[in-house]
A = this chain, B = another copy of it.
């Protein structure tokens, strides 16, 4: 596999380069949320459990820097900022879907059970 420099960093493989765009704990969950529609900071925050303000901001900034998302600021108070996928970001969606499906397969094969939130009566399984 080839290696190359980009933005002062050495990448060993195209895989590494791809993961610099969508890797880490939060980038894929964020991009995944944006595929449906434009989202505001707080909407993403509510949608993505456990993410902190700091991580959400930093990951949004990195995604923007890599051209995966757009950031649109409205000059209002309180602030309003909308995030949306760029074409490049949209290219990532099927990749993320593949990884997600693989994750679900693995979970299934491990026999891992996680609480389904399909119904309200979580504590009274049928």
Contacts and interface: CB of A to CB of B under 8 A. Distances in A.
Interface residues of A, number: 44
B12 A50 contact: yes
A45 to B, nearest CB: 14
A18 B100 contact: yes
SS of A interface (majority): helix
Contact of A15 (B12, B19, B100): B100
Contacts of A19: 23, 99, 103
A97 to B, nearest CB: 9
Contacts of A42: none
Nearest to A27: B15
Nearest to A50: B12
